[in-house]
Chain A
Amino acid sequence: MSAPERTASWQLGWWRTRQLLGVAYAVPTIVFVAVFFVAPLALVIRMSLNSWPLLTGDQGLNFPKNYVSITTNRLFTPAVVFTIEYTLLVTVLLIGLGLVLALLVQGSGKWVGMLRTVFLLPVALGLASASLLFWGFYSPSIGPISPILEGLGLIDQPISFLRTPLSALLSTTFLIVWKYAGLYMLILLVGLQAIPDEVYEAGALDGASRGQIFRHITLPLLRPSLALALILCVTGSLLAFDQFYILTKGGPDNRTVTVVQLIYREAFQRQNLGTAAAVSIIVLAALLVVNAFQFRALRDPERA
Chain B
Amino acid sequence: MNGFGTRGAVMLTAAVSLALGLTVLGVPAGALAQDAAMGVDDGTRITMWSRAATQARADALVKAYNATHKNQIDVTFVPTDDYQTKVGAAAAAGGLPDLFSADVVFMPNWTSAGLFTDITDRIESLPFKDNIAQAAIDVSTWDGKKYGLPFIVDLSVWMYNKKLFRDAGLDPDKPPATFGEFVAAARAVGKLGGGVAGTFFGGNCGGCNVFTWWPISWADGQPVMNPEGTESNLNSDTMKQIYAGFREMVADGTVLMPDSETEAGPTWTGYFPRGVIGIMPMPASLQGMANAALADEDIGVTSIKGIKGGESTFVGGDAIGISRDSKVPDAAWNFMAWLVGDEAQVEVVAKGGNVVARPDLAANKYSSADPRLVTFNTIAGKGQTPFAKNFGATYNDPQGPWIPLFRDAVFGDPSRIDAHNDAINESLNP
What is the minimal beta-carbon distance from B33 to any residue of chain A, in angstroms?
A: 37
State whether the Cβ of A141 lies closer than 8 Å to any Cβ in chain B. Answer: yes
A163 touching B258 by the CB < 8 A rule? yes
**A233-276 CB contact bits vs B (8 Å, 1 = yes)?**
00000000000000001111110010001000101111101000
Closest Cβ of chain B to A99, distance in Å, is 35
Residues of A within 8 A of B270 (CB): 141-142
Cβ of A140 under 8 Å from chain B: yes
B271 at the interface (CB under 8 A from A): yes
A56: chain B residues within 8 A (beta carbon): 113-114
Interface centre among A53, A54, A142 (most CB of B within 10 A): A54
With beta carbons under 8 angstroms apart, the residue of A54, A55, A249 that contacts B264 is: A249
B264 touches A268 (CB 8 A): no
Which A residues are CB-close (under 8 A) to B310? Answer: none
| Closest B residue, CB atoms, query A75 | B399
Interface size class of B (residues with CB under 8 A): 20 to 34
From A69, which residue of chain B is reached at the shortest CB distance? B430
Which of B67-75, B84-92, B186-194, B282-290 interfaces with chain A? B84-92
Inter-chain CA distance A249–B88, complex, in Å, is 20
Q: 8 Å CB contacts to A: which residues of B389-427?
A: 392-393, 396-400, 403-404, 407, 412
Per-position 1/0 for A144-157, Cβ under 8 A of B: 00000000000000
| Known contacts A251-B204, A265-B397: A54-B404 contact under CB 8 Å | no
Q: Is the CB of A54 within 8 A of B91?
A: yes
In the assembled complex, how far is the CB of residue B200 from the closest CB belonging to chain A, in whole angstroms? Answer: 10
- Any A CB within 8 A of the CB of B342: no
Does B325 sit at the interface, judged by CB under 8 A?
A: no
* CA A256 to CA B393, docked complex, whole Å: 18
For the complex, is B314 an interface residue (Cβ under 8 Å from A)? no
| Residue pair B262, A163 in contact (C-beta under 8 Å) | yes
Give chain A nearest CB distance to B272 CB in angstroms. Answer: 12
Tell me, rounded to whole Å, the shortest Cβ–Cβ distance linking B370 to chain A: 28
Q: How far is the CB of B112 from chain A (nearest CB, A)?
A: 9
Chain A: minimal CB distance from B97 (Å): 16
- Distance, CA A251 to CA B263, complexed state (A): 11
A71 in the interface, Cβ–Cβ < 8 Å?
no
Is A11's beta carbon under 8 Å from chain B? no
A64 within 8 Å of B (CB atoms) = no
With A and B bound together, what is the CA distance between A250 and B81 in angstroms? 14
**A269 and B113 in contact, given A55-B91, A140-B258 (Cβ under 8 angstroms):** no
Q: Which residue of A lies closest to B390 (CB)?
A: A270
Contact in complex: B92, A269 (CB < 8 Å):
no
A160 (CB) vs chain B CBs: closest residue: B258
A167 CB to closest chain B CB, in angstroms?
A: 10
What chain B residues lie within 8 Å of A268 (beta carbons)?
84-85, 88-89
The answer for the CA separation of A84 and B115 in the assembled complex, in Å, is: 39
Given contacts A268-B85, A268-B88, A269-B400, contact A55 B393 (CB under 8 A): no
Contact with A along B105-119 (1 / 0, CB 8 A): 000011001110000
In the complex, which residues of chain B have a beta carbon less than 8 angstroms from the beta carbon of A54? Answer: 88-89, 91-92
A145 to B370: give the CA distance in the assembly, Å.
40
A139 at interface by CB-CB < 8 Å: yes
Whether A269 contacts B259 in the complex (CB less than 8 A), given A141-B270, A250-B398, A254-B399, comes out as no
Q: Tell whether A181 is near chain B: CB-to-CB under 8 Å.
A: no
**Contact flags B299-340 to A (C-beta < 8 A → 1, else 0):** 000000000000000000000000000000000000000000
CB <8 Å contact, B262 and A252? yes
Verify A140–B259 contact, CB threshold 8 A: yes
Chain A, residue nearest B265 (CB):
A249
Judge if B298 is at the interface, Cβ distance under 8 Å: no
Complex Cα distance, B393 from A141, in Å, reads 27
Given contacts A54-B91, A141-B259, A163-B262, contact A253 B407 (CB under 8 A): yes
Q: Which of A141, A158, A261, A273 contacts B271 (CB 8 A)?
A: A141
A249 to chain B: closest residue by CB = B398
B59 at the binding interface (Cβ < 8 Å)? no
Chain A's closest residue to B407 (CB) is A253
Using Cβ atoms and an 8 Å threshold, which residues of chain A touch B204?
A: 249, 251-252
B92 to chain A, nearest CB (A): 6
Residue of A nearest to B271 (CB): A141
A96 interface residue per 8 A CB criterion: no
Q: B110 — which chain A residues lie within 8 A by C-beta?
A: 55
The reply to whether B393 and A271 form a contact with Cβ atoms under 8 Å apart is yes
A158 to chain B, nearest CB (A): 7
Q: Which residues of B have CB within 8 Å of A273? A: 92
In the complex formed, the residue of B with least CB distance to A142 is B267
Find out whether the CB atom of B262 lies under 8 angstroms from the CB atom of A269.
Answer: no
In whole angstroms, what is the CA distance A224 to B114 when docked?
Answer: 55
B41 at interface (Cβ–Cβ under 8 A)? no
A60 beta carbon closer than 8 Å to chain B: no
Cβ distance B120 to chain A, nearest Cβ, rounded Å = 21
Report chain A residues within 8 Å CB of B115: 55
**Chain A min CB distance to B64 (Å):** 32
Q: Given A265-B397, A269-B399, decide whether A160 and B262 contact each other with a Cβ distance below 8 A.
A: yes
User: In the complex, which residues of chain A have a beta carbon less than 8 angstroms from the beta carbon of B393?
Assistant: 269-271
> Footprint of A on B, CB under 8 Å?
84-85, 88-89, 91-92, 109-110, 113-115, 204, 258-259, 261-264, 267, 270-271, 392-393, 396-400, 403-404, 407, 412, 430
Known contacts A55-B110, A56-B113, then 17 further A-B pairs from the complex at CB < 8 Å, ordered by chain A residue: A55-B88, A55-B91, A55-B92, A55-B113, A55-B114, A160-B261, A249-B204, A249-B264, A249-B398, A250-B398, A254-B399, A265-B397, A265-B399, A268-B89, A269-B396, A270-B397, A270-B430
A-B contact pairs, 14 of them (CB 8 A): A54-B88, A54-B92, A56-B114, A141-B270, A158-B258, A163-B258, A163-B261, A253-B407, A254-B399, A267-B88, A268-B85, A269-B399, A269-B400, A270-B393
**4 smallest A-B Cβ distances: which pairs?**
A55-B113, A249-B398, A141-B267, A268-B85
